[in-house]
Structure 1
Amino acid sequence: MEESLYIVKDAPGKGRGMFATRDIKRGTCIISESPLVYFYNTGPADTIQAVNDMSKKNKKYFLALRNSHPELPQDIGIIKTNALPLGCESLDCAVFRVISRINHSCALNVKHSWNAKLKKETIFATEDIPAGSEIVTDYLSLLMTREERLKRLAASFGFTCQCKYCASESSEEYDAAVNRIKECSDLIASSCAASNPRRSIGYVREVLGLIDKIDGWGKSTFYHDGFQISAMYSNYTLAKEWADLLLESYRIEEGEVGEKYERYLMYSQNPRSHERAGWGGYIDLTGA
């Protein structure tokens, strides 16, 4: 049997955490895990029932997880602290025996995502992780300024992040980049993409440069924007370039088994297959 890539052990000042047992290469799937228990968005009574229906073994694992909300009933506090959504926009969630142990860092080295095809949560290394290093992810999944992150983490999880971004008091450059990314994102999402696609592609490229500048993540959203704008205005060679970037991003962060990877593999092979391809006629986006 292949040696596990991780071990769960005490993490100083954090309770328990996940650590690499050997060097892990970027793009490696570290763990793919089925839920201990599902929680569907059907109301508090069903949530409590789901906990009560757990096996004794799974309930033991569940109760051993951190509870950052002592003001709430224990089961609800554990769920609020540890549950992960079953998809980016899903209101359904689940708790996991191992993955729910992964600690937070804004300087993450893995991405977690729900694979609906496998019905498992997956953890992929987003950078090379040396043996002995803690495996950490971002609980917030949002671009925020230092102050916004610290407030949200304290309110939701009861701790102060000590990553390289949060520990530094001189965060003006980082915060300025985050705020500009938010501005550009709003402009891309507004009518700008329809009224001036060249400008929108420019915003996409600006955001990608800013993300590189702050060693951030989240490029896939903007690769998608670049692809969709290019396909909409019949720039199919450019659309393929964006689709290829997005495909590689999904491969690294989520693996090659899943709906998103398969969809963008199709778009990479044939950008004209996108449902909005050609809707805007043709506008040359070369050099935008």
Structure 2
Amino acid sequence: MNNSIERVIDDPQSDLFVIKPIDGKGLGMFAKCDLQCGTVIVCEKPLMKFPSYSSSILLEAIYDKLDSETKRRIQFLLASQTRKHPLVGICDTNSIPLAYDSNEKGLFYYISMVNHSCESNTFWIWFDYNNRQEMTLIADRRIKAGEELVCSYIERFHLRERRHEILQNNWLFKCQCDICERHEKDKTSDEQWASYSKDNDFILEYGSKLSQECMEAFSKSLKFVQEHYHHSLLQTFMLHFCILVPCCMLKQWQDLVKYSRTAIRLGKIIYGDDYERYLIPIKELIEAEVPMEYRTGLEKDFK
């Protein structure tokens, strides 16, 4: 493949973002205007999909089947100079896991230009059902015009050393975001950051067994998100979604209804017109467990 193509960016024709060069980083995506939390910034179909651990032979075989315009766009993406094979370099530098636990990656024209930060202001969601295969980039908080749009490529709540190890192994760079610089100097802050992930895992694993302890972990985690992670839309949704089982086990119906309403409201923002498909577990839990006298008005929340 020819990787010496002239690097002229295709105009995204978007009122929400623009692609601009950044010293030492190549290209980046920036907000054109103030973005509200939950704004869908861009939806993209992948230029190319492939298994996470693909040989150059497999990548070439997939690439060769693409049309000329798709190949041109892939060649535009900046390749890692540490790889001798140009296509491997492009995939190393620009590929995105289609989900955090996925064994498949994708290349995208605009979303692949979003740089990493452990203190991200956006997140992406891969929609894959029926005939829809799209990666959607969503604002995780309010973003000011001119601010760079950044996303965490990994599960962000690891210790700094582990985050750097994952990023180096998968994308060949070392993160130098404000969070990483702070954690390098303040090990206590680094440990508090990682403890958030442990609390989340605890709620998921022991929600039906150690319900009271999970409620305490929920309160601690929610406070962390509010004080240290800009009231993250995604993290707030996930916390309220996960705490429903402990509420049910403790028969704390008022709390369950309150947290359900928050999860439904945030789920609608995140998943848009597809929210019903993703919120089925909440609806089924309420219908199966919550006494009728506590369900007043909940039917409207699902509509």
Q: Which residue of 1 aligns with 2:272?
A: 256
Matching residue within 151, 155, 158 for 1:141: 155
TM-score (norm 2): 0.77
Q: Which residue of 1 aligns with 2:193?
A: 178
Matching residue within 47, 61, 74 for 1:49: 61
User: How do residues 199-278 of structure 1 correspond to structure 2 at under 5 angstroms?
Assistant: 199-215=213-229, 217=232, 218-252=235-269, 254-258=270-274, 261-263=275-277, 265-266=279-280, 271-273=285-287, 277=289
Q: Cα offset for 1:21?
A: 1.6
Cα pair distance change 1:82/1:232, threshold 3 Å: farther
Q: CA RMSD in A?
A: 2.8
Q: Cα offset for 1:62?
A: 0.8
TM-score (norm 1): 0.81
Does residue 123 of the first structure (1) align with residue 137 of the second (2)? yes
Given that 1:243 and 1:264 are in contact with CA atoms closer than 8 Å, whether structure 2 keeps it comes out as: no
SS of the residue 1:87 aligns to: coil
Question: For each residue in 1:202-260, what CA deviation from the matched residue of structure 2 results, as whole angstroms up to 9, or x when unmatched?
Answer: 112112222333226533333222012223454443222222222333344x33133xx
SS of the residue 1:256 aligns to: helix
Given that 1:224 and 1:243 are in contact with CA atoms closer than 8 Å, whether structure 2 keeps it comes out as: yes
Inter-partner Cα distance in structure 2 for 1:66 and 1:166:
24
- 1:205 is aligned with what amino acid? S
SS of the residue 1:245 aligns to: helix
Given that 1:220 and 1:250 are in contact with CA atoms closer than 8 Å, whether structure 2 keeps it comes out as: yes
User: Quick one: percent identity of the two aligned structures?
Assistant: 24
SS of the residue 2:124 aligns to: strand
Q: Which residue of 2 aligns with 1:68?
A: 80
Q: Which residue of 2 aligns with 1:194?
A: 208
Does residue 165 of the first structure (1) align with residue 179 of the second (2)? yes
Question: For each residue in 1:1-26, what CA deviation from the matched residue of structure 2 results, as whole angstroms up to 9, or x when unmatched?
Answer: x8521111211211011111222222
Where does structure 1 differ by over 6 angstroms across 4 or more consecutive aligned residues? none
Structure 1 residues without counterparts, runs of 5 or longer: 279-288
Given that 1:69 and 1:78 are in contact with CA atoms closer than 8 Å, whether structure 2 keeps it comes out as: no
Structure 2 residues without counterparts, runs of 5 or longer: 1-12, 291-303
